[in-house]
């Protein structure tokens, strides 16, 4: 994303005055506003998928899930995070041992 796109997003979508964005906004405030805009947009896309599913499902012979209709990038990231997450205590201990060994090896 370019600086111009970030400024446009903050001014147009978040409603922040342009002079504040260009002159005095701290970066942490911009980061929070961009995160909020992303979450609002994510919610709108989720609602659209649910509405599409609700209108299509009655006409389908087999059951479908809303995720069968549309896939979103954040769902893929969540799925990847779940894969790397330890499933039980033994797996967590094994990951800790591997990390300790790697740290000792690298000094």
* Its pTM surpasses 0.75: no
Q: How high is the pLDDT of residue 90? A: 80
pLDDT, one tens digit for every residue, the chain (107 residues): 788 888 888 888 888 898 988 888 898 888 888 888 888 888 888 999 999 999 999 988 889 888 888 888 878 777 766 666 667 778 778 888 888 888 888 76
Question: Structurally, how many domains does the chain consist of?
Answer: 2
Nearest CA to 43 out of 74, 68, 65 is that of 74
In this structure, the answer to whether residues 18 and 48 fall within a common structural domain is: yes
In this structure, the answer to whether residues 50 and 23 fall within a common structural domain is: yes
- Asked whether the beta carbons of 56 and 64 are under 8 A apart, the reply is yes
Contacts for 69 with CB less than 8 Å, ≥ 6 apart:
49, 52, 53, 56
- Asked whether the beta carbons of 11 and 18 are under 8 A apart, the reply is yes
Q: How far apart are CA 15 and CA 61, in angstroms?
A: 45
Q: How high is the pLDDT of residue 82? A: 63
In this structure, the answer to whether residues 51 and 93 fall within a common structural domain is: no
In this structure, the answer to whether residues 53 and 15 fall within a common structural domain is: yes
CB atoms closer than 10 angstroms to residue 40: 12
In this structure, the answer to whether residues 27 and 45 fall within a common structural domain is: yes
Eight-state DSSP code of residue 14: T
In this structure, the answer to whether residues 43 and 95 fall within a common structural domain is: no
In this structure, the answer to whether residues 9 and 36 fall within a common structural domain is: yes
In this structure, the answer to whether residues 48 and 83 fall within a common structural domain is: no
In this structure, the answer to whether residues 52 and 7 fall within a common structural domain is: yes
In this structure, the answer to whether residues 14 and 34 fall within a common structural domain is: yes
Domain that holds residue 21: 1-64
Nearest CA to 29 out of 12, 6, 4 is that of 6
In this structure, the answer to whether residues 24 and 76 fall within a common structural domain is: no
In this structure, the answer to whether residues 96 and 56 fall within a common structural domain is: no
Q: How high is the pLDDT of residue 38? A: 83
């Amino acid at each position: 994303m370019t600086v111009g796109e970030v400024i446009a997003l903050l001014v147009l979508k978040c409603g922040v005055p342009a002079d504040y964005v260009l002159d005095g906004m701290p970066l942490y405030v911009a980061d929070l506003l961009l995160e909020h805009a992303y979450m609002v947009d994510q919610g709108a896309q989720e609602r659209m998928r649910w509405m599409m599913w609700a209108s299509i499902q009655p006409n389908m012979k087999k059951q479908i899930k809303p995720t069968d209709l549309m896939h979103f990038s954040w769902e893929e990231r969540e799925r990847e995070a779940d894969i790397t997450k330890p499933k039980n205590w033994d797996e967590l201990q094994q990951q800790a041992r591997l990390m300790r060994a790697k740290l000792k090896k690298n000094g």
